[in-house]
Structure 1
Amino acid sequence: MAVFVSKLPPKPDFDMLAAAAPASADRRTFVLALMGNLICSWSNNESLFIYVLMILLRTDEASAAVVFATLNTTRARLDLIQRLAKIRVTDKALSKNLTALIERFSESTKVRNELNHCMFIFDSAGAITHTQSMRLMETRASLRFGEIKALDESRLQEMVRTTHEMTKINREIWDLLPRLEAHVYGVKPQGVPRDAA
């Protein structure tokens, strides 16, 4: 009779982790705060694209939000915005600005997705040391699951940089919105003097 060997990982020693957790609380709180800031910044930026969609569809906020929510992935939402921009935005500089913002947001999304779709690995002291991706990594030769990456200082700095980049993107989307609206509706942007060209 064949011996069955479980493929499950070993169950963590929760009592040991609970006893050790207070010693690593400051580090864990710092890491979780970085993740929280990044995810909050990302969510605010994604939500701002509702207004881009509202302008491009020439509709109201509620209708744009319905379209936005009906598309169930960020990629699908951004694809729709880019396609609408091709038919609505004839100003090359404005189109280039919008495309650049979408590309930068998409780059930031990779970091957010990595942290939002993973399992966190703790050491015996209760510190978060690694992440294990919940994505399949497919190459021509193989299919792997669960890439493990260290949550080291370099990775934490990447989170800080990404959050700063999201803050910049947020400000730039806010600056773009009145310009986009004025272009799509054929009016002068708010705040531009009447005698300005």
Structure 2
Amino acid sequence: MPRFQEILLVLGQLNYTWTNTESLLIYLIAGLAEVDKETAIVIFLTLNTTRARIELVERLAKLQKTPPDRRRAILTVTDQLTRKAKLRNKYSHCIYSFDESGSSAKTQLMRVFDAKDEIRYGKMEDLDDAEIEKIRSYIFDIREINETIWRLVRQYSYPC
């Protein structure tokens, strides 16, 4: 498979796995807020960032009515998801460039970095074999988080 297609495939897998897993926050919202799934979907969709959705779940978990063991389990999974969001955000908010043959790829971050007396922007990085393996590892980790959330939803009998 040409490098260009390999990169598109792995980035597509990252995006799909992330989106699928983030949507499971709906069930945690439903259970923790004690609302039905439809109401939780409206809440989830009203919050327009991953960070806001995770923060809502964390805040609901921290309410006194949430048993301590449940709170710990949910906060552990949201912490894992937050850590994995960094790589997902990197690859969702960059520009990709390939050489003429499609075999060499780079990312250019779409961020401005303010220094004391100058700005820098568009940090470029190689998208090499090591980085692709890192993405694949993250995909595996996100799938494990997905399984953990499903286990918690079933364990606590949250609305599905």
TM-score between the two structures when normalised by the length of structure 1 = 0.74
Please name the residue that 2:143 is paired with: 167
Tell me by how many angstroms 1:127 deviates: 3.1
Tell me by how many angstroms 1:179 deviates: 2.7
| Cα distance change on mapping 1:179 and 1:137 into 2, 3 Å | farther
Instruction: Choose the corresponding residue for 1:72, options 48, 53, 59.
Output: 48
Query: Higher Cα Rg: structure 1 or 2?
Result: 1
Instruction: Choose the corresponding residue for 1:111, options 87, 103, 108.
Output: 87
Report sequence identity in percent: 32
Q: Residue type of the partner of 2:124?
A: I
C-alpha distance in 2, partners of 1:140/1:109?
28
Higher relative contact order (CA 8 A, sep 6+): 2
Once the two structures are overlaid, the 10-residue window that deviates more, 72-81 or 91-100, is 91-100
2:28–2:57 CA contact under 8 A, matched in 1: yes
| Cα distance change on mapping 1:55 and 1:120 into 2, 3 Å | same
Instruction: Choose the corresponding residue for 1:40, options 9, 16, 20.
Output: 16
Please name the residue that 1:22 is paired with: none
| Cα distance change on mapping 1:103 and 1:35 into 2, 3 Å | same
Please name the residue that 2:75 is paired with: 99
1:137–1:144 CA contact under 8 A, matched in 2: yes
Q: Does 1:83 align with 2:59?
A: yes
C-alpha distance in 2, partners of 1:131/1:89?
45
Q: Does 1:131 align with 2:110?
A: no
C-alpha distance in 2, partners of 1:153/1:141?
36
Q: Residue type of the partner of 2:4?
A: R
Q: Does 1:28 align with 2:4?
A: yes
| Cα distance change on mapping 1:181 and 1:141 into 2, 3 Å | farther
Q: Residue type of the partner of 2:48?
A: N
Tell me by how many angstroms 1:88 deviates: 5.4
User: How big is the alpha-carbon RMSD for the aligned residues of Structure 1 and Structure 2?
Assistant: 2.0
C-alpha distance in 2, partners of 1:139/1:91?
45
1:41–1:167 CA contact under 8 A, matched in 2: yes
1:120–1:128 CA contact under 8 A, matched in 2: no
